[in-house]
Amino acid sequence: MARISLDNPAYYINRESSWLEFNRRVLEEASAPENPLLERLKFLAITASNLDEFFEVRVAGLVQQIEDGYTEAGPDGLTLLEERDLLARNTHEFVRDQYSCWNESLRSQLHENGVRVLGLHELDDRGRAFVEEYSERELDLLLTPVTVDPAHPFPRVINKALSVAFLLRRRRRSSVTYTGVVTVPRALPRLVRLPSDDTDDFIFLADLVAHHASRMYHGYDLVSSAAFRVTRNSNLYLAEEESRNLLESVRTELHNRRKGDAVRLEIEADADPEIIERLRTNFGLDQWQVFPVNGPVNLSRLFDIYQQSARPDLKFKACVPRELRLTGKSQDLFEELRRHDVLLHHPYDSYDAVVSFIESAAKDPRVLSIKQTLYRTNEQSLIVPALIAAAERKEVTAVVELKARFDEASNIRWARDLEDAGVQVFHGLVGLKTHCKLSLLVRRDPDGVIRRYAHLGTGNYNASTARLYTDLSLLTASAAITSAVHDVFSFLTAYAEHSSYEPLMVAPLDLAEGCLAMINREAEHAARGKPGRIIAKMNALLDKNIIMALYRASQAGVEIDLIVRGMCALRPGVRGVSDRIRVRSIVGRFLEHSRIFYFGNGGEEEIYLSSADWMPRNLYERVEVMFPLTNPMLRERVKREMLDAYLADNVKTRVLLKDGSYIPAWRAGGKRKPPMPGERFSAQDFLIAVAEGKRIPEPIPESPRLSARRRSRIERKT
């Protein structure tokens, strides 16, 4: 039998296409009738926000590489030009589907339920009077009309700023048309709430700007108008080695980001072709970069309706997180941690325990020092003020990542506030982002012994997103783990490398090597006739070395289940390559953000949690930490309560086929109809019920081998 080359591009799915498939799964949630109506609207807004970032970063980077003359193909074998053409087709199709969801489903259903987005022609007398008064009182004062002519160049339209373009004709010289541009003020809400007694009514601010154009352009006839929006390259290009002050360099690049090269033009579909062509030429865009949209420009602003509508009947029932209950008589968290580790599963377990861990350390006179990493945190963070307060009485060190994409400005503010308070602030290592989630306390306990306590997490120190993202937190006093965390901080602040960080694995030093070793170990177990088993949950799987190791493990007989929320370049179910690998994705009311890695290890099970996905940037370009669960009870909880639940889900799960498409789990299971109410099992609903203390059936995952056979049948049919 000829040896199979695992370098074959046919075994790899294109990264960007895989991302678009993920966003399509989010769009499916916007169309899912079982979701509450306003939640569906929120999902639609999320798809638009996701697509914005995709163009700002991924598409912008691709266009830049093409312009710079790069020719190297990716693992999937596509050239950059082929990839660009593929994305052009897929993104235009996706945008059409977004607006179809809005126009053909959501808008009318919202209207029927008393949440109305109205046009000017639909306003009653009360609405028209309000619009006139609102425009005179607030809108008109902020508008700056521009007419493009030799004395007035085209205005600089900043990234994602909504604007309205006009075709104008002077009344005295009617043969010439001019371009007019008005930027819609960012200081005002994009959706203006209208007065109403029994409905939630809104109108788009852009409609008001276009309607009042005659007030701005005296002496002109308005030929036509169209709202538009430009997306620009938002990548940061820093020469860190040449930078004397990273903070100032990032601040400067943030300013430049608002003026990056244009990569996309969104414009109303019924716009005059002359307006479209003038804008396209002005922004230097190719035809494929122009997106005519059949509805409001920038669907992400529909999230405003979700926020402003007090309609609990149209939203998910609130999830009340479980509070941490201490078992000791003293109700002291540190005493609890000296007895056993604490594992928290957010948002089902309250994030307050993590905040309290840091806040109490700031107030506790026994705590001598605090070390903290900060990648993304919320504007109303309680953690940063706690660190500032602690700096008055103890040693506080903060490693603040200034290059956390789209959070750079807030991180700069936090860094300056912390420095002003006396906190030792570091910005990580040159060329590496600090993405690990670590907090380390040094405390003199009542028995006089100085001990270390640590928090290690899979998600950011952000109480807001902790209510929306699934993540895991480990609180521990383990001497081995806290000592290793201390060494990681030494690496971050002094670039002091240690020969080992056991029991942790640290990127970019040994995390990739450690993961490959554990995958290969499972293959060796299987080759010797022992059961080989891997279950890995993450946000993305793109690293070719990891994928090739998984392929080899599958060939050796290892049963592998991958729960990958977003991008996945691995192609499952390929005969002789990945027969034993199954990939599923879950998109639900909570963003699946936790990273969990289970290895059967010949019966000596190991479970690791991590801040890192199996992506090149996580493994080689960031400081990440992977940490073990050493407590058998915690390992059992993660395996039975979490991983088994995700593998049993037949409601929100989508299964990846070898052609790169996804189908509902019930179809992969060989059924012709969705599961009946008594057969339905949603992992997220199950975990909510567990947090609420309800007695419900345990999840029962399908047999891996049976699932593989069923999937093979369904793929032959499709």
Options 435, 455, 525, 593, the catalytic residue: 435
Give me the helices (H) in 377-478, please. Answer: 383-390, 408-420
472: closest CA among 348, 295, 312?
348
364: closest CA among 329, 337, 333?
333
Residue type, 681: F
* Longest CA span, the chain: 91
Q: Is 435 a catalytic residue?
A: yes
- In the chain, % helix, strand, coil (3-state, to 5) comes to 40, 20, 35
Angle between helices 383-390 and 408-420 (to 10 degrees): 20
DSSP string, 260-273: PPEEEEEEETTS-H
Give the tokens for residue 676. Answer: 């009946």
Give the tokens for residue 616. Answer: 């090149």
216: closest CA among 122, 145, 286, 155?
145
| Pair type for strands 505-507 and 622-628 | antiparallel
Residues in Cβ contact with 699 at an 8 Å cutoff, skipping those fewer than 6 apart: 644, 645, 647, 648, 649, 681, 683, 686
CA–CA distance, 353 with 321 (Å, rounded to integer): 11
- Cα 483 → chain centroid: 31
Residue type, 340: H
Q: Where are the beta strands (DSSP E) in 124-251?
A: 146-148, 162-170, 177-183, 191-194, 200-204, 220-232
List, edge to edge, every strand of the sheet that includes 200-204. Answer: 115-117, 200-204, 191-194
| Pair type for strands 591-592 and 469-476 | parallel
- Helices H / strands E in the chain, number of each: 24, 27
Q: Name the residues annotated as catalytic.
A: 435
